[in-house]
A and B are shown apart, each in its own frame.
Chain A
């Protein structure tokens, strides 16, 4: 009974926002920032990746190729720094679900190609990730992580938290001035 209440306590604290959610936020933010930054230098190549998925109309592909890496990098930055966290996490969640859906559609079509998830070849790492169920599962796990961040009320180690704390600390002072 005691251990059960401890689990419950841990769960509640995770839902409210504890060090675990902060770690998830920081890790996922860093990941998004990295993957966005790696895609930014070459929009042409990323456009080919998007075109391979064959879902977005060809005329819109270049615009998506320009928008998506910038969006990824910006969301990652916001999450890592801890500013407008809820909105950034919401968008990231939607993006992950969209990625998972795109890959699923192509799996159902029975096609197989490099998913273009992380362009780490730019760093000299050879990594060819083919579109697969595993990639979908991974995206869904990421999505779950973002959901956890969206759900949290408090974000430790974030700019928002720091600002809020210093505001509360100086509340009394500012009241009388």
Chain B
């Protein structure tokens, strides 16, 4: 009986300690857990992996940056859906394309590509979503095909 009491006391103490640490942790995450885990279904890939998808011709590339940045240079053949424009219609149009979608923006710090990918998950498109970690700069640096549409 005392054993059981001790066990319960330990578990309660650990739970309290864990929650307290989580509360003051800069990346503590219990309240936003679901979004976080939904994000896990988006796969982060390198430029090299993206190039393989590019060469296979099966993937659709989507540029999540502003129109100006897109026109200044983008992955050849990519479409442009700026993440800040609340692009509901454009995303709906992607829904019935049964293939892989690769999002990218300006690198690891920009959240635009991940935001679009999450929006797709929110629409129930849970698979074959990719984000290029280093984004367009990484792609351009490696000398992969780039297209410019600005004047």
A residues with a Cβ closer than 8 A to B are: 40-44, 47-48, 51, 58-59, 61-63, 66-67, 69-71, 73-75, 78, 84, 86-88, 90-91
A59 touches B3 (CB 8 A): no
A-B contact pairs, 8 of them (CB 8 A): A43-B29, A47-B36, A59-B33, A62-B37, A66-B21, A70-B17, A91-B10, A91-B11
| B23-40 interface code vs A (CB 8 A; 1 in, 0 out) | 001011110011011001
Residues of B within 8 A of A (CB): 3, 6-7, 9-11, 13-15, 17-19, 21-22, 25, 27-30, 33-34, 36-37, 40
Question: Does A48 lie within 8 Å of B10, measured CB to CB?
Answer: no
Tally of A-B residue pairs with Cβ under 8 A?
A: 76
Are the C-beta atoms of B29 and A91 separated by less than 8 Å?
A: no
Known: A61-B33, A70-B18. 15 other contacts (CB 8 A): A43-B22, A43-B28, A47-B37, A59-B33, A62-B29, A62-B36, A63-B30, A66-B19, A71-B15, A74-B13, A75-B10, A84-B6, A86-B3, A91-B10, A91-B11
Given A66-B18, A67-B15: A86 in contact with B6 (beta carbons within 8 A): yes
